[in-house]
Amino acid sequence: MREINVSEIENTVRDLCIKANLYLPEDMEECIRRGAEAEKSFAGKNVFDDIIENIRVAKDETIPICQDCGMAVIFMDIGQDVHFVGGSLSEAINKGVARGYTEGRLRCSIVSDPLERVNTGDNTPAVVHTRIVEGEQVFITVAPKGFGSENMSQLKMMTPSVTADEIVDWVVGVCAAAGSNPCPPIVIGVGIGGDFEKCAYLAKKALCRSVSIRNPKPLYAELEKKMLEKINRLGIGPQGFGGTQTCLAVNIEEAPTHIAGLPVSVNVGCHVTRHAGAAL
């Protein structure tokens, strides 16, 4: 049994909140550069120039890539041979988020109650997804999620009779309805299967996968390709100014489901689809 002091979790979460908000993952930045080269519209190319300049300024001046520093979504893979010591794990995670957002001068966007809407002032509480895995390691991913894109996300409980093409068309329709709201070029996370909540979780998790890695199953990799092509034929373009590069990548995550259902979810990510991870 390996002991990990929760202060290590707090410090790691703090650092990851700052890192994720200042630096895009390398593959995401590379994908944006490829999109800029491929973009056919003049206005779209100009938007890409601004996006690339914005990424540079964020790095050089250590300021957030976007004014919306997101809700702190945290995925933790916890080895079953780990024992946390030194206090509450949950409190340590939220202390890490609070320190990351206040010490990193990141915008705090969380309200303590959905109807009373009072800002908590330190971006807590985080949304935390834990998974128990084999081994004695902990892997933490912090994925700050802006709500311009989150608000465009949808879930549909489909029936098993639905065809793959109908799923593709529904996903494309979600992107069409989103238009310029999620700050395109977008990244799309798609969840297929599970139950109601697992399906939404899969779509969010899909946004944390590298944009350059396709689903390992050919069936789903083909669907990712089809969706990407069709979304890009919508012509929404960078920031909605029209163009060929509305979407940079579609990542699908699938899971077993019930014989009577076929849940499908779309979590829309913007051109600032951020995540940073660390192993302890």
Residues that bind ligand SF4 (CB under 6 A): 66, 68, 146, 148-149, 182-183, 270-272
- Distance between CA atoms of 55 and 112, rounded to whole angstroms? 31
Residue among 20 and 262 whose Cβ is closer to ligand SF4? 20
Interacting residues of 68 by C-beta distance below 8 A, sequence separation 6+: 107, 109, 146, 147, 148
Q: What radius of gyration, in Å, describes the C-alpha atoms of the chain?
A: 19
HSE (CB half, 13 Å, CA atoms) of 95? 13
- Rounded to a whole number of angstroms, the minimum distance from the CB of residue 231 to ligand SF4 is 16
Element spanning 63, H or E: none
Least separation, in Å, of the C-beta of 153 and ligand SF4? Answer: 11
Q: Which residue lies nearer to ligand SF4 by CB, 181 or 257?
A: 181
Least distance from ligand SF4 to the Cβ atom of residue 202, Å? 21
- Minimum separation from the CB atom of position 12 to ligand SF4 (A): 23
Our CB check for ligand SF4 shows the closer of 238 and 263 to be 238
Q: Which is nearer to ligand SF4, 146 or 263 (CB)?
A: 146
Which CB atom, from 36 or from 183, has the smaller least distance to ligand SF4?
Answer: 183
Helical pair 42-61 and 26-38, crossing angle rounded to 10 deg: 150
**Residue burial 151-183, b: 16+ Cβ < 10 Å; e: rest:** ebbbbbebeeeeeeeebbebbbbbbeebebebb
Q: Indicate the residue whose CB is closest to ligand SF4.
A: 146
The nearest distance, CB 228 to ligand SF4, in angstroms, is 19
Helix (H, G, I), strand (E, B) or coil at 111: strand
